[in-house]
């Protein structure tokens, strides 16, 4: 089983406002809401890939209920924890005339260490050796600094493979517990090592430091330029596919989803490279945080170009 962890989910409310103007009354012409948050995005893409996952999410208030209902309607398995407070709604204002995207994000819910511990205990009780736990995204206010260290450690103790896709201090902290796989993008990896990494050699060498800690797989995504897949044995550079761009939001999450599915199915690293690059590109072709259909992903798999370096 694959578990995805979203401790700071959001309801993504995307509205279209032609000629959006500050200091004036603006009219919405189209509106949609989607359950959002990185782990939830990972689960949506796993489903499109024909895989199964369980969403672990921390939710609150009527917005939290809307998210839980939407996930259920999508047929995703969920283990949600409800706490007092209101899950954030992130408003995305798309102006199709001026071609602007404006995000207005609510601060979100507050949590305590005890609540997070309760969730972690619930997860550890479910996890079986060989399961995958994909931990992604930010933490809600009030979370202890060592939250991801604890989650990675406990998942490992339970015999699971922890995938970590987080940024900044949270990545540095989670890495201390040595996850099985990490997927920083090039900027996140640069921030982690504290210097700009520009060349493939620099990125590969920084990823090598993570392998030295004991991480088994490091995937460094580089947006439209593709990604590096680095293990102790092999370094593979995949070119990005040339596709029409709808929205790049969640491209990395879809890569994590494909890597989790590839791991669960026991695919080779080369197969994982092709599946995840195709999945990333297919999701870039979609608008907003919508997940691409498998037919589109499948049509791109054979087009992926990569080389062992």
Ligand X SMILES: Nc1ncnc2c1ncn2[C@@H]1O[C@H](COP(=O)(O)OP(=O)(O)OP(=O)(O)O)[C@@H](O)[C@H]1O
Residues with catalytic annotation?
Answer: 253
Asked if 285 and 244 count as a contact pair (C-beta separation under 8 A), the reply is: yes
Cα dihedral 179, 5, 249, 178, rounded to 10, equals -10
- Minimum CB separation of residue 132 from ligand X in Å reads 18
Does residue 255 bind ligand X (CB under 6 A)?
yes
252 binds Mg ion (CB under 5 A): yes
CB neighbours (10 Å) of residue 114?
Answer: 7
Task: Say how many CA atoms lie within 13 Å of 60 toward its Cβ.
Answer: 16
Q: Cβ atoms within 10 A of the Cβ of 10, count?
A: 25
Q: Which stretch binds ligand X (CB under 6 A): 89-97, 156-164, 201-209, 273-281?
A: 273-281
How far is Cα 303 from Cα 142, in angstroms, rounded to an integer?
A: 45
CB of 61 to ligand X, least distance (A): 26
Q: Using the rule CB under 6 A, which residue among 126, 211, 243, 267 binds ligand X?
A: 243
148 phi and psi angles, rounded to 5 deg: -70, -30
Residues 207-226 that bind ligand X (CB under 6 A): 221-224, 226
Binding-residue total with Mg ion (CB under 5 A): 1
Provide, rounded to whole angstroms, the least separation between the CB of residue 145 and ligand X.
22
Report the candidate in 285, 230, 220, 290 with the shortest Cα–Cα distance to residue 256: 220
Q: Report the residue from 51, 85, 108, 280 that binds ligand X according to the rule CB under 6 A.
A: 280
CB of 241 to ligand X, least distance (A): 5
Q: Is 240 helix (H, G, I), strand (E, B) or coil?
A: coil
Question: Phi/psi of residue 257, each to 5°?
Answer: -60, -45
Is 170 an interacting residue with respect to ligand X (CB under 6 A)?
no
245 binds, among ligand X, Mg ion, none (CB under 5 to 8 A by kind): ligand X
Residues with Cβ < 8 Å from 99, sequence gap 6 or more? none
Binding to ligand X (CB under 6 A) within 50-69 occurs at: none
Nearer to ligand X, 83 or 272 (CB): 272
| Chain residues that interact with Mg ion, rule: CB under 5 A | 252
Question: Contact positions toward ligand X, by CB under 6 A?
Answer: 185, 221-224, 226-227, 240-241, 243, 245, 248-253, 255, 277, 280-281, 284
């Amino acid at each position: 089983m694959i578990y995805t962890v979203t401790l700071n989910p959001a309801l993504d409310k995307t509205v279209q406002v032609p000629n959006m103007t500050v200091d004036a009354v603006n009219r919405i012409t189209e509106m949609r809401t989607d359950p959002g948050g990185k782990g939830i995005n990972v689960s949506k893409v796993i489903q499109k890939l024909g895989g199964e996952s369980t969403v672990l999410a921390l939710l609150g208030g009527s917005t939290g209920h809307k998210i839980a209902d939407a996930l259920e309607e999508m047929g995703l398995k969920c283990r949600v924890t409800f706490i007092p407070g209101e899950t954030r709604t992130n408003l995305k204002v798309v102006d199709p005339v001026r071609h602007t995207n404006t995000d207005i994000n609510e601060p979100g819910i507050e949590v305590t260490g005890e609540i997070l511990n309760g969730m972690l205990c619930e997860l550890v009780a479910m996890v079986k050796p060989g399961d995958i736990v994909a931990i992604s995204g930010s933490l809600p206010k009030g979370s202890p600094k060592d939250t991801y260290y604890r989650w990675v450690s406990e998942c490992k103790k339970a015999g699971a493979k922890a995938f970590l896709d987080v940024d900044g201090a949270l990545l540095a902290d989670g890495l201390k517990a040595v996850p099985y796989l990490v997927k920083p993008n090039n900027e996140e990896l640069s921030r982690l090592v504290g210097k700009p990494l520009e060349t493939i050699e620099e990125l590969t060498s920084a990823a090598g430091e993570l392998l030295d800690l004991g991480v088994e797989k490091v995937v460094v995504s580089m947006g439209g330029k593709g990604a590096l897949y680095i293990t102790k044995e092999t370094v593979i550079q995949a070119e990005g596919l040339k596709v029409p761009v709808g929205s790049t939001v969640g491209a990395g999450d879809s890569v994590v989803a494909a890597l989790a599915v590839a791991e669960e199915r026991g695919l080779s690293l080369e197969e994982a490279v092709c599946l995840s690059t195709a999945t990333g590109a297919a999701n870039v072709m979609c608008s907003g945080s919508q997940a691409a259909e498998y037919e589109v992903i499948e049509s791109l798999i054979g087009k992926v170009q990569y080389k062992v370096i």
